[in-house]
Amino acid sequence: MFKEFAQFNTWEEKYKHLIKMGQSLSPIEDQLKTEENLVKGCQSQVWIFGKLNEEQKVVYHADSDALIVRGVVSLLLKVFSGGSPDEIIQSDLEFIKEIGFDRQLSPSRANGLYSMIKQIKYYAQAYKALLASQK
């Protein structure tokens, strides 16, 4: 993920890339835009939904009503979607520092970013428990 953003020299270019990523994100169906899937702690409305596929990988779907936030959630889906519950739970967040989000996002956007990650990991924990109960 770092390499994708390393090609840009300024934060304006990185933000433009984030917006472009968000524009390519497929919107989720309205029936998934529920209170349960709404990320708490974001200024914008963000919905994240995770589903366990046949290979026991968690596949995420998400949407937001704000362009940059939609780009951020698109980035998170690239990082986490398709991983096993354990991979997602144990993943480090070093990519946030590598890209520079820890220094460039406003406090409210950074809070929203970590709230999105928390919800992503929540789904992974739930699916890990489900898989363990099936053994």
Which candidate in 18, 25, 39, 42 is catalytic? Answer: 42
| Residues found in the chain | 135
42 is catalytic: yes
| Range list of H helices, the chain | 2-6, 11-24, 67-80, 85-90, 94-99, 101-104, 107-133
Kindly list the catalytic residues.
Answer: 42
